[in-house]
C-alpha cells in the first residue's frame, strides 16, 4: 500500500488522488476507511465466505420485525427505540449467525434446485388461486408487491431457508441412540421412590435465653457499619402530564354531537349481526365449481352436489373459527363475500355472507361524557406538548425548580428525605418519587437546589431537585437498642428451631426413634403420596423442590428437613424405598426414553455443527458500518 502511495505522488494526477483519499479519511474516519478496505467487506456490515449482509438488507429485516411486533402492540416501537433497546444489535447477531451458515453451505456446494424453490412456493396459501388452489403467478407478484419485496429477494430468502433446513436436518438424519443408552434412560425415568413425611411445629422448641444488655451492646459495637443509615435527600418533584391541563380546555355540546353522528355506527352501537350460509361438498372440485358460481352471483339453493348447508346469524365473537370469522367479518366485507374452499373434517366447505344487520345505536346522552373526555384529553395533550417547549427553555435558562413549575402552572411535590432506593428512615417506600427513574437517580448526583435531567415517562415528564442532604450517620445505641434486642431474639429463636429439628432428624437417621414415633411426639401425622414418586411425577407431589432433588440423589433411609417460609414449620421427609422399573415398565418406557435421547442428541449435534461451521468459515464484521447505519436511523427519525 505504501509503495502504491509513493508511486502516486510522482504525478500531479496522483497527488490529487492522494488528497481526495486523505480528505475522505478526515471526513469519515481513517479507522473505518481502512477497516472497509482491509476486511474485504466493501459495503457489507458482515460477511462469511461469499455471503454477506449490507445496511439495506439489515434495514429490511429490522422493518419486518418491527412490523410484526407493532401489529398487536398497544405502543408501537420506532426504529430509534429499537436502537436504544438493543433490538438492532440482536437482529444483527442473528443475521451474522445466518450468513456464517449460508457461507459454509456455499463453500461445500449446498444449493437448492429451482424445482425445490418452486415446490416450496406452491405450499404458501397466500400465493394460490382461490378457485384452482394452485400457485398463481399474478397473485404471487401482487403479494410480494404488497410486502415491498422483489421476486428475486423473496426467492433468495426461500432458497436460503431451504439451505439452512438441509444443513440442520442433514446433521441429525438417521440418528438413533444406542439401545444401551435407551435402556439406561428408561431405568432413570422409570425408577420409583417411596417417601413419607410429617410436619413438625418447630415453634415448640425450647425457648432460648433472652439477650442481655451486654450482648446487645456487643452486637451494636461489632456491626456499626451495618447499622449506619445511608445518605438521604429531601427531594422536590415536578411531574407534568396532559392531566395537568384538562381544566384549561373546553369542549362544546356541538362538537360532541358532530363526533357522535360521524362515528356512532362504528363506536356507539351494539355489535352488528351478520347472516351467512355454510355449504359442504364431498370433494374439492365440486366445492371449487360451487365457489365460482357463487362468485358470479348464483343462488346457493341452485347449487348441485351440496351435502349439507347451514344458515347462521350472529356477531363476530360468535364465530370461533378464525378463517371463517375473517371471511365474514373482516375489514370491508359486505354481502356476497365468500370463504375460499377448504377441507373441514373430511368435507369441503364454502361460505357466503348473506346480509349485514347493523346493531342498535346508543343514545347520545349515554356516551357524551366519553366523547367529552376523549376530546378534552386530546386538547390537553396538545397543550402538554406546547408546555414541553417551555419546559426545555426554562431548563436551559437554569431556572430553579420552583420557578420552572410556576411558569408552567404545575405543582411541585415535596418528599421527606429518602435513600437512593426511595425509602424513608421509617421504611416507607416513596413510589411516586421512584417513578421519576433517571430524574430520581440524578437527584443523588447533583447539589442541593440544582435541577436534575428531564426524564420522559410513558404519560408524564419528571424533574427533581434535592432541597436538603442528610449525611450518613450511625444511630445512637439507645435509639436502636430495642431493635437489636428483637433481632437477636429472632436469630436465637430461628437457631433453636433448627437445632430442635436437626436433633429429631438425627434421631430418626440413627434408628433411635422412628418417623411415626417422632410424628406422634410432635402431635403430627405421617403422610405420603398416593403413588411412589418418579422423576416425571415428583413435581405434582407437592414436595418442595429441594426435597425432590435430595430424594432422587439420596439413598434408602435418608431423612431430610425443609423449613416453611416463616421458618416455624419443617417438613421432615424420609426416603423409604428405591424400586427399579419392572421389565414390563421398561418396555413401555423404551419409546419415551428413545425420544428423550433423540432430542438430547439432536441438540448436541446442532451445537457441534454450529461450532464446526464457525471453525471452517471466517466471519468478518465492519463495526463502523453498523454504527453508521444506526446513526442514519437517528437522523431519519
State the angle between helix axes of 253-267 and 364-396 in degrees (0 to 180), rounded to the nearest 10: 110
**pLDDT on residue 499:** 95
Asked if the model's pLDDT at residue 310 lies above 80, the reply is: yes
Q: What is the 3-state secondary structure (H, E, C) of 300-355?
A: HHHCCCEEEEEEEEECHHHCCCHHHHHHHHCCCCCCCCEEEEEEECCEEEEEEEEE
Confidence at 7, pLDDT banded by 50, 70, 90: very low
Residues 196 and 339 occupy one common structural domain: no
CB 577 within 8 A of CB 193: yes
| pLDDT higher at 547 or 172 | 547
- Identify the pLDDT of residue 632: 86
What pLDDT, on the 0 to 100 scale, is given for residue 354?
A: 93
169: pLDDT strictly greater than 60: yes
The pLDDT-based confidence of 622 (bands split at 50, 70, 90) is confident
Residue 472 has a pLDDT of 93
**Residues 53, 56, 57, 61: is their CA dihedral positive or negative?**
positive
Shared domain check, 502 and 449: no
Residue 10 carries which DSSP code?
T
Instruction: State the average pLDDT over residues 58-82.
Output: 81
Mean pLDDT of the chain: 87
Q: Residue 175 falls within a domain, yes or no?
A: yes
Across the range 324-343, mean pLDDT stands at: 89
Least confident of 300-314, 322-336, 411-425, 563-577: 322-336
Mark whether 177 and 196 lie in a shared domain.
no
Q: What is the pLDDT of residue 8?
A: 43
Same domain, 241 and 373: yes
Are 533 and 412 within one domain?
no
Note whether 74 and 87 are same-domain residues.
Answer: yes
Q: Final residue of a domain: which of 561, 579, 597?
A: 579
The least confident of 120-129, 179-188, 550-559 is 179-188
Residue 421 has pLDDT above 50, yes or no: yes
> Looking at the 3D structure of the chain, how many domains does it have?
5
Q: Which of 5-14, 157-166, 284-293, 350-359 has the lowest mean pLDDT?
A: 5-14
**What pLDDT does residue 135 have?**
86
The mean-pLDDT minimum among 119-128, 398-407, 467-476, 555-564 falls in 119-128
Whether 263 maps to a domain, the answer reads: no
Last residue of some domain: 545, 560, 579? 579
Q: Per the domain annotation, does 246 fall within a domain? A: yes
At which of 308, 332, 360 does a domain end?
A: 360
- Is 99 inside any structural domain? yes
Residue 35's pLDDT band (cuts 50, 70, 90): very low
Q: How confident is the model at residue 28 (pLDDT cuts 50, 70, 90)?
A: very low
**Is 104 inside a domain boundary?**
yes
Terminal-residue alpha carbon distance, the chain: 40
Q: How confident is the model at residue 365 (pLDDT cuts 50, 70, 90)?
A: very high
Query: Regarding predicted confidence, which is higher, 10 or 147?
Result: 147
Q: Are 156 and 200 members of one domain?
A: no
pLDDT band for position 42 (cuts 50, 70, 90): low
Residue 229 is given by DSSP the state: B
**Within the chain, how many helices (H) and strands (E) appear?**
24, 14
State the Cα angle at 112 between 106 and 116, rounded to 5°: 170
Q: What is the pTM assigned to this prediction?
A: 0.51
Residue 13: predicted pLDDT: 41
| Cβ neighbours for 335, distance < 8 A, ≥ 6 positions apart | 353, 354, 355, 356
The answer on 391 and 244 residing in a single domain is yes
* pLDDT exceeds cutoff 70 at 21: no
pLDDT, residue 14, reads: 47
User: What is the gyration radius of the CA atoms in the chain, in angstroms?
Assistant: 37
Look at the block and give the residue holding cell 438424519. Answer: 173
Q: Which helix (H) or strand (E) holds 8?
A: helix 2-8
For residue 339, the domain's CATH number is: 3.10.50.40
Mean pLDDT check: name the lowest of 128-142, 367-381, 477-491: 128-142
Q: If pLDDT is split at 50, 70 and 90, which confidence band does 636 have?
A: low
pLDDT value at position 238?
96
Are both 31 and 145 inside the same structural domain? no
**pLDDT for the residue numbered 41:** 60
Average pLDDT over every residue of 4-22 = 44
Per-residue pLDDT tens digits for 560-599: 999 998 889 999 999 999 999 888 888 777 777 777 788 8
Angle at 228 between CA 224 and CA 232, to 5 degrees: 170
Q: Is 451 helix (H, G, I), strand (E, B) or coil?
A: coil
Q: What is the pLDDT of residue 637?
A: 54
**What is the extent of the structural domain holding 378?**
232-250+369-470
pLDDT at 130: 66
Stretch among 29-38, 243-252, 383-392 having the lowest mean pLDDT: 29-38
What are the contacts of 391-397 at 24+ separation with CB within 8 A? 391/240, 391/454, 391/461, 391/463, 392/454, 395/451, 395/454, 395/463
Q: Is the pLDDT of residue 87 over 50?
A: yes
pLDDT at 36 over 60: no
Question: Given its phi and psi angles, is residue 148 left (phi above 0), alpha (psi -120 to 50 degrees) or beta?
Answer: left
- Mean pLDDT within 396-409: 94
Q: Is the pLDDT of residue 9 over 90?
A: no
Asked if the model's pLDDT at residue 530 lies above 60, the reply is yes
Residue 31 and residue 45 in one domain: no
Q: What is the pLDDT of residue 497?
A: 95
**Cβ-based neighbour number of residue 454 at 10 Å:** 19
Q: Residue 294: how many CB atoms within 10 A of its CB? A: 20
Q: Do 240 and 385 fall within a single domain?
A: yes
Regarding whether 436 and 542 lie in a shared domain, the answer is no
Phi, psi of 69 (to 5 degrees): -65, -45
State the Cα–Cα distance between residues 61 and 343, nearest whole angstrom: 34
- At 197, give phi and psi (nearest 5°): -155, 165
Q: Confidence class of residue 29 from pLDDT cuts 50, 70 and 90?
A: very low
Tell me, yes or no, whether 223 lies in a domain: no
454 within some domain? yes
pLDDT value of residue 306: 93
Question: By mean pLDDT, which of 235-239, 307-311, 368-372, 617-621 is the weakest?
Answer: 617-621
The larger pLDDT score, comparing residue 595 to residue 388, is at: 388
Domain-located, residue 490: yes
Amino acid at each position: 500500500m505504501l509503495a502504491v502511495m509513493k508511486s502516486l505522488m510522482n504525478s500531479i494526477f496522483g497527488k490529487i488522488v492522494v488528497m481526495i483519499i486523505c480528505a475522505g479519511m478526515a471526513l469519515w474516519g481513517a479507522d473505518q476507511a481502512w477497516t472497509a478496505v482491509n476486511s474485504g467487506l466493501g459495503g457489507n456490515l458482515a460477511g462469511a465466505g461469499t455471503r454477506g449482509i449490507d445496511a439495506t438488507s439489515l434495514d429490511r429485516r429490522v422493518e419486518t420485525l418491527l412490523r410484526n411486533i407493532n401489529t398487536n402492540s398497544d405502543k408501537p416501537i420506532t426504529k430509534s427505540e429499537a436502537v436504544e433497546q438493543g433490538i438492532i444489535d440482536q437482529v444483527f447477531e442473528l443475521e451474522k449467525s445466518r450468513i456464517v451458515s449460508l457461507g459454509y453451505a456455499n463453500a461445500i456446494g449446498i444449493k437448492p434446485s429451482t424445482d425445490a424453490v418452486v415446490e416450496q412456493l406452491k405450499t404458501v396459501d397466500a400465493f394460490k388461486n382461490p378457485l384452482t388452489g394452485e400457485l398463481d403467478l399474478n397473485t404471487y407478484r401482487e403479494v410480494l408487491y404488497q410486502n415491498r419485496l422483489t421476486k428475486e429477494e423473496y426467492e433468495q430468502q426461500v432458497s436460503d431457508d431451504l439451505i439452512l433446513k438441509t444443513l440442520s436436518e442433514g446433521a441429525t438424519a438417521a440418528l438413533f441412540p444406542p439401545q444401551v443408552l435407551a435402556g439406561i434412560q428408561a431405568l432413570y425415568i422409570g425408577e420409583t421412590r417411596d417417601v413419607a413425611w410429617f410436619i413438625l411445629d418447630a415453634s415448640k422448641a425450647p425457648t432460648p435465653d433472652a439477650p442481655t444488655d451486654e450482648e446487645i451492646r456487643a452486637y451494636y459495637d461489632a456491626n456499626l457499619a451495618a447499622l449506619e443509615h445511608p445518605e438521604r435527600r429531601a427531594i422536590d418533584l415536578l411531574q407534568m402530564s396532559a392531566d395537568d391541563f384538562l381544566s384549561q380546555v373546553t369542549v362544546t355540546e356541538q362538537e360532541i354531537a358532530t363526533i357522535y353522528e360521524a362515528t356512532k355506527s362504528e363506536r356507539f352501537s351494539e355489535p352488528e349481526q351478520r347472516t351467512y350460509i355454510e355449504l359442504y361438498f364431498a370433494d374439492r372440485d365440486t366445492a371449487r365449481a360451487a365457489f365460482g358460481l357463487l362468485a358470479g352471483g348464483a343462488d346457493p339453493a341452485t347449487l348441485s352436489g351440496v351435502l349439507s348447508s347451514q344458515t347462521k346469524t350472529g356477531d363476530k365473537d360468535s364465530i370461533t373459527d378464525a378463517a371463517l370469522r375473517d371471511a365474514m367479518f373482516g375489514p370491508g366485507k359486505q354481502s356476497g363475500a365468500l370463504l375460499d374452499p377448504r377441507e373441514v373434517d373430511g368435507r369441503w366447505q364454502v361460505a357466503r355472507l348473506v346480509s349485514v344487520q347493523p346493531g342498535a345505536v346508543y343514545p347520545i346522552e349515554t356516551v357524551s361524557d366519553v366523547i367529552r373526555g376523549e376530546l378534552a384529553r386530546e386538547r390537553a395533550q396538545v397543550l402538554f406538548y406546547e408546555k414541553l417547549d417551555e419546559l426545555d427553555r426554562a431548563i436551559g435558562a437554569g431556572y430553579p425548580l420552583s420557578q420552572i413549575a410556576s411558569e408552567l402552572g404545575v405543582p411541585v411535590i415535596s418528599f421527606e428525605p429518602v435513600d437512593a432506593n426511595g425509602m424513608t428512615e421509617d421504611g416507607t417506600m416513596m413510589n411516586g418519587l421512584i417513578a421519576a427513574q433517571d430524574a430520581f437517580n440524578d437527584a443523588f448526583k447533583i447539589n442541593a437546589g440544582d435541577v436534575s435531567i428531564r426524564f420522559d415517562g410513558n404519560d408524564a415528564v419528571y424533574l427533581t431537585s434535592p432541597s436538603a442532604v442528610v449525611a450518613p450517620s450511625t444511630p445512637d445505641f439507645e435509639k436502636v437498642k430495642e431493635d437489636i434486642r428483637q433481632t437477636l431474639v429472632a436469630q436465637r429463636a430461628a437457631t433453636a428451631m433448627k437445632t430442635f429439628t436437626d436433633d429429631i432428624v438425627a434421631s430418626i437417621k440413627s434408628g433411635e426413634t422412628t418417623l411415626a414415633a417422632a410424628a406422634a411426639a410432635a402431635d403430627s401425622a405421617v403422610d405420603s403420596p398416593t403413588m411412589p414418586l418418579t422423576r416425571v411425577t415428583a413435581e405434582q407431589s407437592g414436595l418442595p423442590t429441594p426435597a425432590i432433588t435430595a430424594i432422587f440423589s439420596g439413598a434408602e433411609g435418608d431423612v431430610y428437613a425443609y423449613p416453611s417460609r416463616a421458618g416455624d414449620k419443617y417438613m421432615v421427609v424420609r426416603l423409604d424405598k428405591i424400586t427399579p422399573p419392572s421389565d414390563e415398565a421398561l418396555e413401555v418406557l423404551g419409546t419415551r426414553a428413545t425420544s428423550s435421547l433423540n432430542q438430547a442428541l439432536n441438540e448436541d449435534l446442532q451445537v457441534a455443527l454450529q461450532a464446526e461451521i464457525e471453525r471452517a468459515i471466517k466471519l468478518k464484521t465492519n463495526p463502523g458500518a453498523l454504527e453508521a447505519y444506526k446513526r442514519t436511523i437517528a437522523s431519519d427519525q
